[in-house]
Amino acid sequence: MEIFELFISLIFVNNIILIQNLGICPYVGCSREKGVAFGMGSAVIFVVVMATICTWFAQRHILNPLGLGYLQTLVFILIIASLVQFVEMFLKKLLPPLYESLGIFLPLITTNCAVMGTAILVQRENLDLGTGILYAFATSAGFLFALLLMAGVRERLETLRVPKAMAGTPISLVMGGIMALSFMAFKGMAQ
């Protein structure tokens, strides 16, 4: 039951893009088509979960015992950057079909603040490893969900006549705002 609540909370009530405003760049950049949005979203799920596991161990077993908590930012970004690079090489060698579909999104993920944001949030909320992994998975599932919704709307938008100055990024931000407004209706369903 608690797990169900965690998922509802992170996908709908505290959606990472629409309510917490993390990971806006891919939200605007990779939501032209549903295929691209799905690829980006699944790559993010994969990396966020991996990154959360690695940073959890680094924080609990290296930084905390040594009293180096203030180096969190520096250590996390280096872990994430090397992790992404490593995952890319690993997939290329061992799982070429998966690499074909996710590969082009991987380099884009290092500077996606959703990844680092989730890793830091898991530490700030002081979750244990199991809950941390679920938290990371639910958060990135929310990311995929918002990206897919946005792609659906934007595919429709292609056929409409938008004022020239508003076309492209401005109108998609305004639409994101309207979507966020509707997501606010979920408030109260969970913490």
Partner 1 sequence: MSFYKEFTKGLWNELPPFRLLLGLCPVLAVTKSAQNGLGMGVAVLFVLLLSNIIVSLVRDIIPKKVRIACFVTISATLVVAVELLMQAYTYPLYQQLGIFVPLIVVNCIILGRAEAFAAKNPVYLAVADGLGMGIGFTLSLTFLGSLREIIGAGTFFGVPVFGEYYQPFTMMIEAPGAFICLGCILGFMNYLNRIQSRRKGLAAHKNPTVCGSTCAQCGGCSKANLS
User: What residue ranges bind partner 1 (CB under 8 A)?
Assistant: 18-26, 28-30, 40, 70-74, 76-78, 81, 84-85, 107-113, 116-117, 120-121, 124, 163-166, 169-178, 180-181, 184
Query: Of 3 and 82, which has the nearer Cβ to partner 1?
Result: 82
Give the number of other CB atoms < 10 A from CB of residue 137: 18
Closest approach, Cβ 65 to partner 1, in A, equals 19
Tokens found for residue 88: 């890319």
Return phi, psi of residue 23, to 5°. Answer: 70, 45
Query: Of 64 and 85, which has the nearer Cβ to partner 1?
Result: 85
Contact 18, 183 (CB under 8 A): yes
Closest approach, Cβ 28 to partner 1, in A, equals 4
Closest approach, Cβ 1 to partner 1, in A, equals 28
Show the CA angle centred on residue 63, arms to residues 129 and 91, nearest 5°: 55
Query: Of 129 and 178, which has the nearer Cβ to partner 1?
Result: 178
Tokens found for residue 55: 């940073």
- Say which residue the tokens 């930012």 belong to: 73
